[in-house]
Structure 1
Amino acid sequence: MIEKTSPARLVVTGAGGQVGQELLRRAETAALPEPVALHRAELDITDPAAVHAVLKPGDTVLNCAAFTAVDRAESDPESAFAVNATGAAVLAAACARVGARLIHLSTDYVFPGTSDRPYEPDDPTGPATVYGRSKLEGERAVLDLAPDATVVRTSWVYAWSGSGFVDTMLRLERERDTLRVVNDQLGSPTYAADLAAALLELAARPAGPRVLHATNAGETTWYDLARTIFAEVGADPARVLPCDSAAYPSPARRPAYSVLSGRCWRAAGLTPLRPWREALRAALARRSH
């Protein structure tokens, strides 16, 4: 008798976050097997026994769990390192032990933010924040402990709804005549739905490069992004005024340059993410339906 095997499972940690929610929705619309959705309350990724108990051989784990409170990390490094470093290490070790594949989501904050050209995956790292250091330690653990794992760095992630930058700008457009937005930080806004689709495409392929970058194409400043949001909803973009980062002092210094190169993603045969303006337009259209 031939023993039947179950189809490979897709396991999403951090399923309640921006990217996690989109992964679940995208998997459903693409008629993929229903992912195993693990929210923070359902799985403590720093607990080796708990993690090992939920994984099965052949699983593909998309780790979207992270401590993303960049400013709070400066005063609470233990919490940041627990999730971003220890949690990543626990997942990687468990995946290697049971024979599961790990795709680990990381960030532009692992770089110093001082470049004048898009960062390649093998460029020197040098995080300037606790958050960035915790994520870099997590990357290293993943790459060391799970031979088949892939680290995917992204930047400036936003969702079509929620409490992120886009939502904040739409709220302030309704509440204020003018607002000031920083114009000295450059990056690539990345729509969570597009990133989720990219991660699912990667998950469907055999393991390739160990580190990849995935963002919507192009670059902009927060100021220009805010102006574009205003224009897209029919508001006057001139109501958005530029300022520098000094106008909004924060515990964690934001990178001045966060653009990640997509060259390695394309070279791996993966579909490039669409331009950021096109993605933003789609996100805003989704809000109106």
Structure 2
Amino acid sequence: DLERKLNREFDFVMTGLETEMDRIVLEEMGEAIVHLLRNAVDHGLEPPEVREQRGKPRRGTVRLSAYASGGHIYIEVADDGAGIDRARVLQSAIAKGVITPEEGASMSDESVYELLFRSGFSTAKEVSDISGRGVGLDAVRDKVESLGGKIRIDTELGRGTTFVIELPLTLAILPALLVSVRGQTFAIPTANVDEVVRLREADVRYVQNEPVYPSGDRIVPMVDVAEWLGLGVRRWVFPQTAVVCRNGKQKFVMVVDKVMDELEIVNKPLGRYLESVRGFSGATILGDGKVSLILDVRSIGQSA
């Protein structure tokens, strides 16, 4: 279909078909991978006559590969097309007001390609029903990060582009930090945890009457987990225990009563009756037989 609609000629090659991965990961990533494949054909590959002019074979190659390494699954979507033009990405970002010309001049290649994952960002000259609608890559990254993974772009102008997705081998077993809030135990996936800190009164600032935490060169919002879950309002008696969490590139602080333990837990989905409940990504049964809910760092971070 894409060959006919877009006037492209290419071979589609799949490798690593024997690679096993968590069924949930596979189901969740399906749509994202399809988008990357369409993107590779629409934006990556040049029309056959253009490839010939550039000394390339008329037929391009789009490659989908998967492999396991070091407790992670890697999925790559690659094309041997035009590659990503750094200057064009910067020009588009500056024109849209995403960055200033001064910022663009000092950005590394990796930082420039990261701009492609910004919401609504596109360098496409025309909008098509295949891709280039200004949506897509941001949704792909959101999906990857919601599964505890990362995505990066490797590209060379004139030679092609590869999107590399790194995902945890399984979502069933994950290392987690157990925290106590109002006598209840909750789990926070350690993949989303940067550090645990003891907050002193001098560490907390206020912006529009909301507490924030200065972290490096950033001001990080704070979430009182007890208040967020409706378990009561915190008495700000210092020191307070806080967990600095990361949701993609965003950071925020969860204030809890205490940190209890770090261990590997079995993640059990909440099921369709509870799938609309905000703030939880699953549940686990602890060694003493009690049920502990797993906090959804993404939804809590978005509200922060």
TM-score band (shorter)?
A: under 0.3
Structure with larger Rg: 2
Q: Which protein has the bigger strand share?
A: 2
Q: Which protein has the bigger helix share?
A: 1
> Highest relative contact order (Cα 8 Å, sep 6+), 1 or 2?
1
